[in-house]
Amino acid sequence: MRRVYWTQRTHLFRRDEYICSGCNYASDKPLRVCPGCKTVMAMGGKYDPQWVDEAEVISALMDDDW
């Protein structure tokens, strides 16, 4: 049986979301059992700092090198 866990995706201007590694179900909090695939989640997980990419885009848009 494969280990299923939540991946925490952090955003710059909106709430964090948690993605199931088994079925890609997105939740606003890490639940003990995934509602999408009904799998009991393993302890631990991964962290995906999506806010870094979002900040990079904003920085590029506001860059005023002339």
User: What pLDDT sits at residue 66?
Assistant: 45
- Would you mind telling me the total number of residues written for the chain in this entry? 66
CA distance 8 to 66: 38
User: What pLDDT sits at residue 46?
Assistant: 74
Using a 10 angstrom Cβ sphere, with 0-12 exposed, 13-18 middle and 19 or more buried, the burial of residue 3 is exposed
Here the contacts of 59-65 (C-beta below 8 Å, separation 24 or greater) are none
Predicted model pTM: 0.65
Percentage with pLDDT > 90 across the chain? 36
User: What pLDDT sits at residue 19?
Assistant: 92
Query: Any idea where the domains of the chain sit in the sequence?
Result: 6-60
Choose the weakest-confidence range: 2-6, 14-18, 36-40, 43-47: 43-47
User: What pLDDT sits at residue 18?
Assistant: 92
Neighbours of 13 (CB within 10 A): 8
